[in-house]
Amino acid sequence: MSETAAPTPSPTNAPQPPADLQRKYKEFLDLLPLTLALAGLPTSEGRLYTEEQIEGRAMTIRIAYRKAREAARECLGG
Looking at residue 17, its pLDDT comes to 76
Spell out the long-range contacts of 37-41 with Cβ–Cβ below 8 A and sequence spacing 24 or more: 38/64, 38/67, 38/68, 39/63, 39/64
Looking at residue 4, its pLDDT comes to 57
Count of CB atoms within 10 A of residue 72's CB? 14
pTM exceeding the 0.85 threshold for the entire prediction? no
Looking at residue 50, its pLDDT comes to 96
Domain residue limits, the chain = 19-40+50-75
Query: Minimal CA–CA distance to 66: which of 42, 41, 43, 38?
Result: 38
Regions in the chain scoring below 70 on pLDDT? 1-14, 78
Q: What is the pLDDT of residues 10-22, one digit of tens each?
A: 556 667 778 999 9
- For residue 31, the SS3 value is helix
Looking at residue 78, its pLDDT comes to 63
- For residue 24, the SS3 value is helix
